[in-house]
Each structure stands twice: as C-alpha cells, then as structure tokens.
Amino acid sequence: MAGGGGYYGGTGGTGAYKYYTGNPGSGGSGFVSGDSQCNAVTSQTDSTPSGNPIHYSGYVFENITMQADVRYGDGLVRITQLFN
C-alpha cells in the first residue's frame, strides 16, 4: 500500500481502479508554521504531533490564509517579503 503525501500523509487505499491496480493513498494535510489550525511535528527525528503550531525550526509565517479544496495537484503558495 502507498501512503498519501502532505505533512501528515494519508494511508493506502484498499480498492483497485479500472486501469490502475495499485492501492493509492489518501491525500495528506497542509502545514504552515504559525497557523493556529496546524500541529507541528516534535522534531526532525520524531513525527509525533507536538500540539504546537510552530515548526521546531522556529520559522514562523504571519497573516496566513489557507483555503480548503481550492487547488488540485501540488498546491499553491505565495510568500511576500516585507523587509530586507
């Protein structure tokens, strides 16, 4: 079975499609450090949810907007530099 992508990847499916006999994974979740709806992993070697929306690296985004089901495929990101 193949897992899905994303920050917390999905699990493999159990059925077969008409032209594909593998077991595709479900979609994974998105993650943006600093978004109150997100849950960062504990560390680089520990993927346990930390209960904290801030990534262990310490990098944090502000004024975050995430929209569900807006784009298919790899997703979309726009980052604006506010200062040098």
Residue range 32-83, pLDDT digits in tens: 899 998 999 999 999 889 999 999 999 998 888 877 766 666 667 788 887 7
Predicted local distance difference test score (pLDDT) of residue 42 = 93
- Which residue, chain included where needed, has tokens 């993927």? 47
Predicted local distance difference test score (pLDDT) of residue 3 = 46
What does the domain layout of the chain look like in residue ranges? 1-28, 31-79
Which residue, among 20, 23, 26, has the nearest Cα to 4 in the 3D structure?
A: 26
- In the predicted structure, residue 10 carries a pLDDT above the cut 60: no
- In the predicted structure, residue 14 carries a pLDDT above the cut 80: no
